[in-house]
Structure 1
Amino acid sequence: MPRDDDAISEVTMEGPVESVEFEMMILGRHSLLEGRQRSGSTRLDRSAYTILSRMSISGPMSIGQLSEAFGLDASTLNRQTAALMRAGLAERIPDPDGGIARKFRLTAKGRRMLKETRDANVDGLERVFKTWSRADIETFAALLMRYNGDIERIWARVWPRPGSES
């Protein structure tokens, strides 16, 4: 059985990248705890929220388009979209552009739940940022956009932003 002092010696903060890695681990923990605290809630789970958010920006998407956008295999997305359809959050439609593949789009319930979940997320962030200046929040948002943009560049998988051409 490892001693507590042995475990502590494994964590190193040799530089800013190690500090970022550690803080991101904690950030992920907060997200998981938030999910447990709201069990029984009508808020969307993470995969539903992400897929519906993407479709709300890009419009109807096929399994192939979702697979490319998320870097996930088709079987995973088939399971996730099936769950969305069972919950009444998405529906399968013919391709509006006349293509062969059927596409998924948000239902009215999906749009409503997406908005409710996003509003709850924003409310939570507003509680966190209560003591932050507007300039600090803007700086943090700009750095997050830069960070995500660099990941998107590395993986050649751009995530469209609201109001941008998708």
Structure 2
Amino acid sequence: MPDRDASIETIQREMTAFARRARATAARMHPELSLVSFTLLAHLEDRQGCRATDLAAHYTLDKSTVSRQIGALEKLGLVERRVDPGDHRVQVLHPTEAGTAVLARATQLRRQAFHERLAEWEPADLARFAAYLLRYNETA
């Protein structure tokens, strides 16, 4: 039977390497975007807009961190603020057309990279890996 502690150590080490590659990949896709900025932009697109406080709560980030990241995205023309029609005191963040284009290009490049990296994997291995990732992320 495999050693549980050794397996967990290997998982931790490999997840760290995965995160480093993700940061490097995000930097290559759009040099001015950090991985955090890219993630926030993608969240805005997925949710079709949300408030900065919602971003901070969802990602358990400090409001000042979100504010800096959103400010950078606005400066790059990738995010815009719109008044919430239901409450004119609230501003909702949305990706601009340029922001949506950056995400579309990044998604295309990411998919291509995954297809290349996993080209030699058997379909059953891919299905197991996908199931394990889903299971892992559901417990987080």
Shorter chain as denominator, the TM-score bin is 0.7 to 0.9
1:1-166 to 2 correspondence within 5 Å? 14-34=5-25, 38=28, 42=30, 44-98=33-87, 100-151=89-140
Between stretches 96-105 and 108-117, larger displacement belongs to 96-105
CA apart distance, 1:51: 0.7
The structure-2 alpha-carbon separation of the partners of 1:84 and 1:14, relative to structure 1 and needing over 3 Å to count, comes to same
- Structure having the higher strand fraction is 2
Instruction: Please give the alpha-carbon distance, in whole angstroms, between the structure 1 residues aligned to 2:88 and 2:139.
Output: 32
Instruction: Tell me the secondary structure at the aligned position of residue 102 of structure 1.
Output: strand
CA apart distance, 1:86: 0.6
Aligned length: 136
Instruction: Please give the alpha-carbon distance, in whole angstroms, between the structure 1 residues aligned to 2:47 and 2:24.
Output: 30
Instruction: Please give the alpha-carbon distance, in whole angstroms, between the structure 2 residues aligned to 1:108 and 1:50.
Output: 17
CA apart distance, 1:96: 3.5
Instruction: Please give the alpha-carbon distance, in whole angstroms, between the structure 2 residues aligned to 1:29 and 1:48.
Output: 15
Instruction: Please give the alpha-carbon distance, in whole angstroms, between the structure 1 residues aligned to 2:124 and 2:47.
Output: 30
Q: Determine which structure has more spread, i.e. the larger CA radius of gyration.
A: 1
Identity of paired residues, percent? 26
After superposition, the CA RMSD in angstroms is 2.0
Instruction: Please give the alpha-carbon distance, in whole angstroms, between the structure 2 residues aligned to 1:109 and 1:33.
Output: 22
The structure-2 alpha-carbon separation of the partners of 1:142 and 1:96, relative to structure 1 and needing over 3 Å to count, comes to farther
Q: TM-score, normalised by structure 1?
A: 0.73
CA apart distance, 1:136: 1.6
Instruction: Tell me the secondary structure at the aligned position of residue 130 of structure 1.
Output: coil
Bigger relative contact order, structure 1 or 2, given CA contacts below 8 A and separation 6+?
1
**Structure 2 segments unaligned to the other structure (5+ residues):** none
The structure-2 alpha-carbon separation of the partners of 1:14 and 1:146, relative to structure 1 and needing over 3 Å to count, comes to closer
Q: TM-score, normalised by structure 2?
A: 0.85
**Structure 1 segments unaligned to the other structure (5+ residues):** 1-12, 152-166
Instruction: Please give the alpha-carbon distance, in whole angstroms, between the structure 1 residues aligned to 2:49 and 2:25.
Output: 30
Instruction: Please give the alpha-carbon distance, in whole angstroms, between the structure 2 residues aligned to 1:35 and 1:105.
Output: 20
